[in-house]
Chains A and B, each alone.
Chain A
């Protein structure tokens, strides 16, 4: 069964909004919004301010890390029978995992005294961005076709984002 589960609507909407904020502020790390007039749209001038978008991206990262930890813990603590991730659930979880890990490493790199080899930084940047490029169409597909994260067993359930 792969219908949408409206278990916790505020969390689902919050998750969607959070992912949108992260994607927007993430893309804003590239100098494209001013070049292509998007930052000229009234109210969107902040998209061309690199320090503002960087800060907002970090705030989004704090929230998504908390949310991810909550759902991963809830998933593994669910009893008596742990629900199973759907194939698209595995794909989305894997992509978010890669994005979080590479993002964390990039955040560590930004501390004074942390010098990563140039090749490693380029690899992290490309994997982080590449994962986002795969995640966005995947998430849109799952949203459009009401794909669930988990196949709920008869007993026990992980309520949350679907």
Chain B
């Protein structure tokens, strides 16, 4: 069958194609613009999200190869208190974060200017500017790239879940029965692998954009260098009378939300708990210890000064002593 192509349909198709290319190439250009050590950040306009779940599906399609492959039966772990966390039989659970669901839609019914509204919020790793999950991982299994993306290397992770405990939002999720610990001392150390959003780091490294952003039909999420994203978040908040989350939380994150309601209210309205992060204020978790590093710089100087000073005092005493003896000798001779 021959395809009938009118001038009108050709123009319409061309415009649609050009629009699609522009839509995907604009964020791709933004991703490239973040090279050279600038962090990439995303801006999520909660007002635009319709909760369709396209981002969740796109995330699964893009990341299914990274999912843990749990081997059963799980090794018996000692002591008995060590919990088994198994999502391998419930991989399609989508109402919270799991090792097989790195992004989920959180729901809230809130009051906006006297009108009851149903808000939907995509939730995943916040990609902190200084991520405690990465910095405090005892094995270096969690890593951060220069573009600000943090990820957990499933080939190295032992599943101790320290990353989840130190994360202000308790984002990483554990799957028992997978990973390196099975090759070491599976009964006595480790408990699987931890997983979280890695912002489609492979796609981004190739100049692409994360799958969730590409799939969003509403353009609720954009990506770009962090300073530009912060500026856009402020512009959006000023335009809409909205509120920003992520700019300063935990010292700043590379995920910024703009909400039509204060985050205190949004936090009260969302379902929180395991795998369902909050929207509370989050203090800078790494700051207190990092402030002590100044002490690490000063302490050696103080130590050197103390030893040097002590030696000078000792030398002076030695110099004084012979003169005293000499004087005494002269006196005796006299």
Measured CB to CB, the residues of A under 8 A from B are 29-32, 35-37, 50-51, 54-55, 58-59, 61-63, 65-74, 77-79, 104, 107-113, 115, 118, 121-122, 124-125
Closest beta carbon of chain B to A14's beta carbon, Å: 13
**CB nearest neighbor in A for B294:** A62
Partner of A66, one of B165, B303, B310: B303
On whether the beta carbons of A51 and B166 are closer than 8 Å, the reply is yes
On whether the beta carbons of B79 and A36 are closer than 8 Å, the reply is yes
Nearest first, the 6 A-B pairs at minimum CB distance are: A69-B303, A66-B299, A73-B307, A112-B130, A69-B300, A121-B140
Closest beta carbon of chain A to B270's beta carbon, Å: 25
Partner of B143, one of A31, A66, A110, A121: A121
Closest beta carbon of chain B to A64's beta carbon, Å: 8
Residues on A with C-beta less than 8 A from B308 are 73, 77
Residues on B with C-beta less than 8 A from A37 are 79, 81
A55 to B165, CA, bound (A): 16
Partner of A111, one of B130, B138, B143, B306: B130
On whether the beta carbons of B251 and A112 are closer than 8 Å, the reply is yes
Residues on B with C-beta less than 8 A from A78 are 311
Residues on B with C-beta less than 8 A from A118 are 140, 143, 153
> With A30-B138, A107-B296 in contact, do A35 and B81 touch (Cβ < 8 Å)?
yes
A20 to B128, CA, bound (A): 33
On whether the beta carbons of B299 and A122 are closer than 8 Å, the reply is no
Partner of A108, one of B139, B285, B293: B293
On whether the beta carbons of B135 and A110 are closer than 8 Å, the reply is yes
> Is B259 at the interface (CB under 8 A from chain A)?
no
A35 to B153, CA, bound (A): 23
Residues on B with C-beta less than 8 A from A67 are 303
Partner of B136, one of A50, A62, A72, A74: A50
Contact bitstring B121-163, A, C-beta under 8 A = 1, else 0: 0000000011000011011100111100000010010001110
A35 to B187, CA, bound (A): 12
Could you write out 20 A-B pairs with CB less than 8 Å apart? A30-B160, A31-B138, A31-B165, A35-B81, A50-B136, A59-B292, A62-B295, A65-B299, A66-B303, A69-B300, A70-B304, A71-B307, A77-B307, A107-B293, A110-B136, A110-B286, A110-B290, A115-B144, A115-B146, A122-B140
Residues on A with C-beta less than 8 A from B139 are 122, 125
Closest beta carbon of chain B to A87's beta carbon, Å: 24
> Is B112 at the interface (CB under 8 A from chain A)?
no
On whether the beta carbons of A111 and B293 are closer than 8 Å, the reply is yes
Residues on B with C-beta less than 8 A from A30 are 138, 160, 162
A25 to B168, CA, bound (A): 21
Residues on B with C-beta less than 8 A from A109 are 135
On whether the beta carbons of B140 and A54 are closer than 8 Å, the reply is no
**CB nearest neighbor in B for A66:** B299
On whether the beta carbons of A29 and B138 are closer than 8 Å, the reply is yes
> Is B289 at the interface (CB under 8 A from chain A)?
yes
**CB nearest neighbor in A for B299:** A66
Contact bitstring B281-317, A, C-beta under 8 A = 1, else 0: 0000110111011011001111110111011000100
Closest beta carbon of chain A to B147's beta carbon, Å: 9
Interface residues of B in 195-209 (CB under 8 A from A): none
Partner of B82, one of A35, A51, A54: A35
On whether the beta carbons of A125 and B303 are closer than 8 Å, the reply is no
On whether the beta carbons of B285 and A58 are closer than 8 Å, the reply is no
Closest beta carbon of chain A to B316's beta carbon, Å: 13
Closest beta carbon of chain B to A96's beta carbon, Å: 13
Residues on B with C-beta less than 8 A from A63 are 299
Closest beta carbon of chain A to B229's beta carbon, Å: 17
A77 to B308, CA, bound (A): 7
A124 to B138, CA, bound (A): 10
A159 to B162, CA, bound (A): 42
On whether the beta carbons of A55 and B292 are closer than 8 Å, the reply is yes
Residues on A with C-beta less than 8 A from B165 are 31, 50
On whether the beta carbons of B292 and A58 are closer than 8 Å, the reply is yes
Residues on B with C-beta less than 8 A from A125 are 138-140
On whether the beta carbons of A61 and B296 are closer than 8 Å, the reply is yes
> With A62-B292, A62-B299, A115-B144 in contact, do A31 and B285 touch (Cβ < 8 Å)?
no
On whether the beta carbons of A68 and B293 are closer than 8 Å, the reply is no
Residues on A with C-beta less than 8 A from B304 are 69-70, 73
